[in-house]
Structure 1
Amino acid sequence: MAIIVSVRLFYCVELGDDVRAGIARSARSLQARIRAGTWVAPENLHVTLRFLGEVGEDLVPPLEELGAEASSQLTPFELRFDRFGAFPSPSRARVLWAGPTVDSAPFAALAHRIEEGVQALGFPPERRPAHPHVTLARLRVPQDLAPALAEAPPPDLQAWVDDLTLMASELRPEGPLYTPLARWSLGG
């Protein structure tokens, strides 16, 4: 009997140290106002393009091929982080995030290419449209963060996006451990 090994994967855009530190610094004004939440460590801040979940190791090579193909079709672009928000809504927040006020067409194009490719590999369609954001905290119970978000000074950071990463995620009690499996330069 063969043992099927799986790994938890997602495609993402990694952020530079200065952008991650700037986002974490901007979020400090919100930390005191949020109860019963788990904050993402600054070194783990990233922009997820598509979460894949537990994936059999046999799918890693085609996912790597997809990443190479999708990244070669786009050129580097800028992503601006200039607001805080919450999912599903500020009044019933479960996830606190930083992201752009204006959606990024290049980000949407990259997410679309990845989405088409993973569906062709048999993954179910993503139910929600891609919205570029950096998850800052996950809340154990829904909270009304609308007043805190209205009062918090927003971030004002720009990130140059020139890579796509296929990331492995190992869940641990102290927080997830992220390991890049493959990284591709946009446009080449």
Structure 2
Amino acid sequence: MRLFVAINFSPALKNVLAGLLEELRQLPAAVKWVPPENIHLTLKFLGEVAPARVEEIGAALRRAAAGINPWHLEVKGTGVFPGWRSPRVVWVGVESEKPLYVLQQQVTREYLELGFPAASFTPHLTLGRLRPGTASGPLQDRLKSLAGVSWGREKVTAVSLMESSLTPRGAVYRPVLTVPLPAPDGAPSNEQ
């Protein structure tokens, strides 16, 4: 199983980003665009994992999420990785309150103990991947013009362990486990 830990977003925010994707698709650039339904915020990529390990991986996610209350983040701006000289990934940015970073650090720590290496974390939502050697002035100009645009604000109420299945038509994502974040008043919540 190919697994990752992510924050998923509401259909309303994905709709807004679908509109942005539709606009960007019209520009002349060799980009493999992400389907709107696949847009998410990756906290930790685990890679290929034996199905027998799912239970311990799920338990680690529950421990990582313990004590993290729901919070708000804003999806804002656009850009590319690693930089404008040789862009490979088109993204929208994420501005968040502190709980995002605390959760990500706890996820990293829990999975480090299970043998998954730590990786750097720059919160973003991938919109597309440019083919090597792609240069597109119109795409670059449009992304730079959208650098300060807010695409929406979301309340984060859960974190998910996701499975990525590679198919001829692209990746299909499915939640294996969704861990709700406890409400500040300690109200019970249901795990899916």
Query: Do they fold alike, i.e. is TM over 0.5?
Result: yes
Aligned to 2:126: 135
Q: How many residues align?
A: 179
Aligned partners of 2:28 and 2:103: how far apart in 1? Answer: 33
Q: Are the counterparts in 2 of residues 10 and 52 from structure 1 also a CA contact under 8 Å?
A: yes
Q: Which of these residues, 95, 118, 129, is aligned with residue 125 of structure 1?
A: 118
Q: Are the counterparts in 1 of residues 30 and 134 from structure 2 also a CA contact under 8 Å?
A: no
Aligned partners of 1:104 and 1:23: how far apart in 2? Answer: 21
Aligned to 1:3: none
Q: What TM-score does the superposition give when structure 2 sets the normalisation length?
A: 0.86
Please report how far the alpha carbon of residue 142 of structure 1 lies from its aligned counterpart in structure 2 after TM superposition: 4.4
Opposite residue 56 of structure 2, the aligned amino acid is P
Opposite residue 162 of structure 2, the aligned amino acid is M
Any residues of structure 2 matched to 1:36-185 within 5 Å, and which?
36-100=30-94, 102-126=95-119, 128=120, 130-144=121-135, 146-152=140-146, 154-185=149-180
Find out whether 1:20 has 2:14 as its counterpart: yes
Q: Deviations over 1:127-155 (max 9, x none)?
A: x2x22211111111244554232224734
Opposite residue 105 of structure 2, the aligned amino acid is H
Cα 1:105/1:91, change in 2 over 3 Å: farther
Q: What TM-score does the superposition give when structure 1 sets the normalisation length?
A: 0.87
Q: Are the counterparts in 2 of residues 9 and 166 from structure 1 also a CA contact under 8 Å?
A: yes
Aligned partners of 2:180 and 2:21: how far apart in 1? Answer: 29
Structure 1: 4+ residue segments shifted above 2 A: 26-34, 142-148, 151-156
CA RMSD of aligned residues (A): 1.8
**Unpaired runs of 5+ in structure 1?**
1-6
Find out whether 1:186 has 2:177 as its counterpart: no
Aligned partners of 1:90 and 1:32: how far apart in 2? Answer: 20
